[in-house]
Structure 1
Amino acid sequence: MRITEKIFNFNKGHYPKIPEGCKNANSTKAKNEYLLKLNELFPECDVGFLREKLCSVDQNHLQQVIDRLLSMDKSGDKGGYPRRVNQFIIEPWELVRSQSYRKAVRYRLYNDFPETWRSTIKAILAENNFDYRKSFEKLKDLTTNNWWNSIFSIFRRKLYKEMENPELLEEIQKLQYVKLEEQSKADHEIAKQVNFSEYTNNDQLITCGCCYGIFPFEDLTCCSEGHLFCKDCINHLVQEGLFGQGSLRGKQINCIEQAGCDGYFTDDQLKSTLLPDVFKNYLDSLVEHSLKQSNLSLVQCPFCNYCEVDDNDLFLTFKQFRIPKSSKSFILLASLPVAILPLFTSFESIFSIFTALNVVIILILPQIVWNVMGVYPLKAWVSELDNIVKRRRRGNVFKCQNPECRKTSCLLCSRESKPFHKCYEREQDSLRLFVEKAMADAVKRTCPKCHISFTKADGCNKMTCRCGYVMCYLCRKDLRQESYAHFCDHFRPIPGQKCKKCNKCDLYKTEDEEKVIKEAATKARNEFLKSHPEARGVNLLENNVIGPVTNEGMLYS
């Protein structure tokens, strides 16, 4: 009876269970399982804080820590629990360490740094959760070759017997591998210098086909036809093509030989030539281009380019009512006598016109009525029903599988999904997002061909999209044929003054973006409050808004 009363009164009917595969709730393995569960429930909480609270209790671990964290977050105890930047991610060194591992690490560091005080080593270990690699790097930076260390090394203490801990041995092996990698990079740099000097002494340096600099053969890359270029030129070419005008996104990198060449650079050549992040962006552009060409229904992560095929697409199609071709020829033959009647009498001509119009209306009216009252509303209703079914099947949470992202997002509001997530939880968030979008839309331009939005940082008002479309930044006119003739070329004594000879757009003058942003924010706020009366008490200041910057203190006058 006492046990039953304790379960229902104190634990609210929940009996704490030991994780599967663990014999003791206080074992290191069990505590790490608890820590992973807490990380899923509180992904924004600092891992060190979770680990500290978990190790401070000896029974009913999860419930006690969860109650403590919820009470801190609700009451605002010292600003709530500490937050972290990388949510949902726990590094291996942040897990709970066993006592055997801690002792083995301590003895190992005593032997690695015999001239360092034990108290210093213990403090460094405590700061880094007894992780060997992080503590080793920290102690390596703290240790200096001064005269005190030289004197202290004379009275070097005896070595400790090291413990054979598998986890520690694995970390030592990884640390040695890192040292070998660093040594290999240093040797490679020395080899490059020796190689360059040998090429120079033998007068065998090769000229780059783009910048005409001279380089060793190992510093050059070639196209499929054998033309040689330095790696800097290829990197600049691809970076401009990807991040500048965007003319190389999703396309093959062709040879840049000035005499003309049909060759191209293979993926293996680009991988060994380009910087790692540039090559990755190039591959992403190829994948993005292929997905666009496939016309598949995709679900994309709002924080990166990762996407998945939507398997829940029902592929619903509707056909509009149209008059058969055989009936069209019959209508023309039937209307022919009526059309000939006006050639004989004037009175019959008027009557025949009205008769022909009535025949046409009677024949076309069913098509119009069916499409307007039947097909279009039914298509919209079934499409909305299709979206509801797909959301139910797929769920509202999307987990990104990109190793560099790994974020969980909400498909309804496109924001990062956290435990107890609610879309637009507060009216202030909804108003802020609405105003931010209006402020961004006020200063950005959208390409009518590929629908990519962009803004101008500097330069002239002739804007070239990465798809090849050219437009005026001021009036949005298509300039693919007109080019710079669209802009005024008359001399003006005062730069920026309005031209008195023509009404063409200025090549460099831009609109007052600060004024446009402020007007858009005011208009958006009034529009939102008109449609959401419950949010009239929300006070949205400029520092609550993430959008284009204005120089004035307030958004609204």
Structure 2
Amino acid sequence: MEEVNRYKERLSIMFQGSSTSEQQIDYVIDIVLNNSDNNLLPFENKIEIMTDLLLESGDSLLSLKGGNLEANITNCASSEEGAVGFAYTKPRLTKIEINSLLTLFPDICPKFLDSFVAKNPTMNFDEIVNELSQTEYAKREIDPLDMWNDLKQMLPNADPTYLRNQARVLAKRPLEEYEEFLRNAIEKNDYPTLQDYLRKQEKLEDISVYTDHFTVANFLKIVPKPVEFFTSPEREAILADTSESDKEFALTFLYNQFPYLRQNQIQKIFNSYGQHLVKTCNKLKVLPRDFRNPRKHIEQDECFNVKLLQEIAFLKHEKSIRQYLKLQNDRYRKALDEARKYGLLQTCLCCFDEELIPEECLFCDKNCTFCKNCVKLGAEHVIGEGGTKFPCLADCPSEFNYSVLKMVLNDKVFKRLCQRKQIEEIKNANVDGLESCPFCDYVMVPEEGDKIFKCGNIECMKESCRECRHVAHIPLKCSEIEYDEDVKLRTYIENEMSEAFLRTCPSCSRKFYKESGCNKMTCLCGAKMCYICKVAVQDYSHFGNGRCPLFTENLDQLHFDNVIRRAQAAKAQLGVDKNPNKLKFDPTKNFQLN
């Protein structure tokens, strides 16, 4: 039921606003999911099949008789057939007028228009426009592929898979729906992004080594001692802190792995072992069969939990892994005995392991000998420091070649290392017009006239302004954008201006300001102070006789003058008085000191 709801939710969103009914969607889902040929297809492929069926049905009701889809589709072909039997008369309209009609009615089928004009040779341009405006004319058949390419150009940062599905739907809909979709996408910017798509593709590539592209040799590069690692008595269940979807994925794996056992029994044992996969499998292996014939294979959704996929890959291929390791160990013992016999053992110049067989040795460019583990650890240290040169681990001025590093590093790590090395070499080449992303190390030569730098790094993918090197801000100009450093300057001055307006009690530090009355202020704590010079006072003796006045005739002007003077002092402190362009938005711009 959960699987059906996923398909229904996706299709409902895709066909929202159309006349496609909920009954149609339910029926198409039922057709596709009950077809055994589709069992092994991924989720997105099934969505495409369902979308095709719904599009082929148009806006008509699906016929449930005999399991067939019957659709009443009016297309350009039927319009052309409608012209059969009419004598063709040269139309009065010129080619320019025909093109104008195509502009006025962009969704009209050109063949229908030709046929309509031929059947009405006496009608002028205005009469045809009037007639077509009141007629249900045949629509232009738009190629979804063309629409998909148009959408990719208009929304370059959108997920191409999402745009393809939308194009398949919109190509069969009125042109207004396409325009509305495009307008909403540009205004709201709420569509799945290209960055999400690329990251998902990268994840799919990473997890494929445990699923579709599994090999024992590659698996052992990632998990060198899988038997000891996965079967250790101290190993805890990895599903304890994972999502419900991961637990459901693991349970479905068990159902498929043991198709002769009852599902409720599998689930009971799985829960009794605290959802520990290895222990559950070891128990299920020794149970007698419940069925003579295996249960039907259950399709599994996508899973991106690498640890879970690693454990499942081990359980699926445990027999092959053990055989491979046994053969590998036998070969190693034989090679070790042979190396000892003929004096071929080498010593690692880093860890000083004296029993390296020739197959275990790696060398720097000066042929210093090291074991694979030492080279791997040394390379990972250099990569962590951001380096691209890998010096010899002994007292030697040489380096390790990248072909040596490829033998010890993870494929993904080595790929990123090569990208970093390539970027470094490009920067050192002093290529004309070369620019770098402000947010990462990605470099490229943008096309002349482009105002936006579009980063191609999957982990970044940000668009930045080539002039100010901040996040892209089109249609605003650089001078109209306030960045973090600008905000800090402005807010500092604004805070100083606020402080000038307020007074602070010298006793309890309470903040206050005066609206009226004399300048001898009494705080709630009982302390007294002068509002003009802000010093503590005891009585009225501080006021008059050439000192602070007891009353202020224009209190607003006093506040205004204090605020402006405090702002000017803050600007001088920041250096804005000598370089006014340093402050993009001046809080005192419209203020004038009397």
* TM more than 0.5: no
Q: Which has the larger radius of gyration?
A: 2
Tell me the TM-score range normalised by the shorter chain: 0.3 to 0.5
Normalised TM-score (structure 1): 0.38
Highest relative contact order (Cα 8 Å, sep 6+), 1 or 2?
1
